[in-house]
């Protein structure tokens, strides 16, 4: 079987590196295949994040006092008002569990990796237009872009595609926007053994290595997405949803279509999801 474990952390920080807001979410679907390399179709259905699943994730049903989303929210609440250094020094013990007594009473899960994700998010934070008091929102949309059985001639492949949008909002106006995507590809052979696992980097992390310029595009994927994010900043969700697109959902507005040639329909829907 293939077990995905993807963590997403979004933060809003001030000029001194103090965390003003924080959201953590995780995607952890499992795809099963048998000893002949045939995928169990029932395991490649809808993909929901742990926050979306809520109690359906099942920690309470298994005996935990708090569900995963409640425990993640407790860690985020603990992080607010702290710098990364203050968070790391007080939140986690040497085993990666909650060290602070109040936090430990609510978060029994391993939080070391989530604290690391918050640290990475703070490190990557940029001035994008958000102001103190804005609402921080996170939305994730995942599905299987490819799920093919193995044959004697060709390895089977499962590719989980995830789009992630982080926005800040003042009333119904987007004050900053970050979008990224991950294509997590794993292959296996006809005897049910893992054959290859691709490098698990987002398109934003890959930069020019993603290869759109090599394929002839004037702008790389991350450059196009950054321009789209700048374009939607300052607009309402309704205005973003009415950006003109063609049948492939690539923008047709003259002031954006020369730079952004990729499909943006999914991004429009993702921003709407984040804003809800």
- The pLDDT tens digits for 47-93 are 999 999 999 999 999 999 999 999 999 999 999 999 999 999 989 99
The whole-number pLDDT of residue 200 equals: 83
Residue with tokens 């390895």: 155
Residue 248 confidence (pLDDT)? 96
pLDDT digits (tens, 9 = 90+) for 98-137: 999 999 999 999 999 999 999 999 999 999 999 999 999 9
DSSP class per residue in 144-213: EEEEE---SSS-EEEEEEEEEEEEEEETTEEEEEEEEEEEEEEEE-TTS-EEEE----BHHHHGGGG-TT
* Ranges 32-46, 63-77, 195-209, 252-266: which has the least confidence: 195-209
Q: Give the pLDDT of residue 199.
A: 63
Q: What confidence score (pLDDT) does residue 50 get?
A: 98
Q: In this predicted structure, what is the pLDDT of residue 76?
A: 97
């Amino acid at each position: 079987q293939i077990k995905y474990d993807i963590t997403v952390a979004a933060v809003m920080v001030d000029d001194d590196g103090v965390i003003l807001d924080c959201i953590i979410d995780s995607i952890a679907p499992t795809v099963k295949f048998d000893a002949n390399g045939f995928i169990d179709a029932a395991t490649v259905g809808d993909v929901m994040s742990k926050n979306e699943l809520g109690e359906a994730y099942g920690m309470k049903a298994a005996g935990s006092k708090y569900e995963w989303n409640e425990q993640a929210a407790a860690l985020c609440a603990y992080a607010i008002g702290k710098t990364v250094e203050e968070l790391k020094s007080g939140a986690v013990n040497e085993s990666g569990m909650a060290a602070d007594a109040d936090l430990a009473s609510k978060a029994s899960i391993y939080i070391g990796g989530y604290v690391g994700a918050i640290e990475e998010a703070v490190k990557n934070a940029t001035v994008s237009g958000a102001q103190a008091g804005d609402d921080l929102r996170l939305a994730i949309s995942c599905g299987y872009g490819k799920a093919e059985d193995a044959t004697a001639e060709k390895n089977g492949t499962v590719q989980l595609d995830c789009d992630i949008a982080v926005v800040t909002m003042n009333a119904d106006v987007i004050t900053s926007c970050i979008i990224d995507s991950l294509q997590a590809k794993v292959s296996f052979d006809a005897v049910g053994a893992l054959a290859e696992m691709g490098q698990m980097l987002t398109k934003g992390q890959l930069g020019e290595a993603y290869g759109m310029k090599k394929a002839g595009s004037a702008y790389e994927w991350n450059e196009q997405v950054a321009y789209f994010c700048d374009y939607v900043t300052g607009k309402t969700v309704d205005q973003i949803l009415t950006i003109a697109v063609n049948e492939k959902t690539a923008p047709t507005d003259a002031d954006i279509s020369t730079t952004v040639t990729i499909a943006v329909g999914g991004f429009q829907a993702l921003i709407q999801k984040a804003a809800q």
